[in-house]
Amino acid sequence: MNTQIIKDYHDIKQGKGTVLVLGYFDALHLGHKTLFDQAREVADAHGLEVAVLTYHEAPGLAFKKFTPDFLLHLMSPQKRLEKFEEYGVDQLYLMDFTSEFAHQDSKAFIENYVGRLKADFIVVGFDYHFGCDRKTADDLEDLFDGQVITMPEFQIDEEKVSSTRIRRALANGNIVLVNQLLGYDFTTRGMVVHGDARGRTIGYPTANLAILDRLHLPSDGVYVTEAIVNGRAYRAMTSVGKNVTFDGQDLRVETHIFDFDQDIYGNFIEIVWLDKIRDMVKFSGIDELINALENDEKVALSWKKV
């Protein structure tokens, strides 16, 4: 299946009836997946297509004072598109959430977007709001001629699965929980660039990564990871932090790839985050650092997904 991607409001020319899914969907986590599973089921039962109307960036950019975190995501744009396709989306409408768009009231939104998308069904989450008048899923049922399917809160461990919860877990370095809530492993893409080459002198050469996408990173520390190099996965251990043992000032992402000795400067590799080994520590000297790295290696190589 190939998802058709439309990025311009004026190009909305839906020919077939749809099951329309509405929301931002920055992470496409397990809570979001319940909406798409429902939409796909309804679409298949009625001979319709699944359409999604969503946004490139967080809607908060149009309403709140800017902070750099507004531009950070939980998955790269390419991964997001791949996940939409995996979730069974036929038509993906990616809009810019501008002030002009934000100033539409609920009735204008229904007329200008929902109507043009020929929606027979709409699927939304229980906490969905739309229009500058902040109408809810219940209001949608009064304004929309078709059927509205409102999905209930999806929980893990008696707490809502949400992007906010995932970002919080990531900031705490709880990668196992992050991956559980996402329903897939959190990843980061980077280009291998030159660093200090200090790792080679102590037996642990690292690939220093220039991060390519505007993504949240795990908290400072050392992690069990996989490195995807030229399509092949290698077990690795990856550090995030400022290399405090050597009084580093810049945030770095460095990965030591086990059983690997290729020269890969300039290559794009992907880091798959699996678990945290320890916090970033300022060691008293090289010997103490090497002892810690040897222990990190044992943990990384023996780690198994539960």
Q: Residue 62's pLDDT is what?
A: 80
Whether 11 and 64 share a structural domain: yes
Position 259 in a domain: yes
Domain boundary among 127, 160, 193: 160
pLDDT in tens, 28-67: 999 999 999 999 999 999 999 999 999 988 888 888 888 8
Q: Which of 94, 13, 82, 16 is nearest to 52 (CA)?
A: 94
Position 142 in a domain: yes
Q: Residue 2's pLDDT is what?
A: 76
Regions of the chain with pLDDT less than 70:
1, 8-15, 197-199, 201, 243-249
State residue 9 phi and psi, 5-degree precision: -55, -40
CATH of the domain at 130: 3.40.50.620
Whether 63 and 191 share a structural domain: no
Please, are residues 186 and 209 in contact by the beta-carbon 8 Å criterion? no
Domain boundary among 112, 143, 160: 160
Q: Considering its fold, how many domains does the chain have in total?
A: 2
Whether 204 and 122 share a structural domain: no
Whether 257 and 155 share a structural domain: no
Whether 29 and 135 share a structural domain: yes
CATH of the domain at 279: 2.40.30.30
Position 69 in a domain: yes
Whether 74 and 115 share a structural domain: yes
Position 175 in a domain: no
Whether 200 and 117 share a structural domain: no
Q: Residue 284's pLDDT is what?
A: 74
CB atoms within 10 A of CB 296: 19
Whether 142 and 201 share a structural domain: no
Please, are residues 223 and 177 in contact by the beta-carbon 8 Å criterion? no
Q: Residue 248's pLDDT is what?
A: 57
Predicted TM-score (pTM) of the model is 0.92
Q: Which of 199, 164, 202, 195 is nearest to 181 (CA)?
A: 164
Q: Residue 185's pLDDT is what?
A: 98
Whether 18 and 85 share a structural domain: yes
Whether 204 and 155 share a structural domain: no
Position 166 in a domain: no
Position 179 in a domain: no
Q: Residue 147's pLDDT is what?
A: 95
Q: Residue 151's pLDDT is what?
A: 97
Q: Which residue range(s) make up the domain with 97?
A: 4-160
Whether 218 and 77 share a structural domain: no
C-alpha–C-alpha distance, residues 48 and 9, integer Å: 21
Whether 191 and 233 share a structural domain: yes
Domain boundary among 97, 127, 160: 160
Position 76 in a domain: yes
Strands, E, within 72-220: which ranges? 91-95, 119-125, 129-130, 135-136, 147-151, 155-156, 159-160, 187-193, 207-211
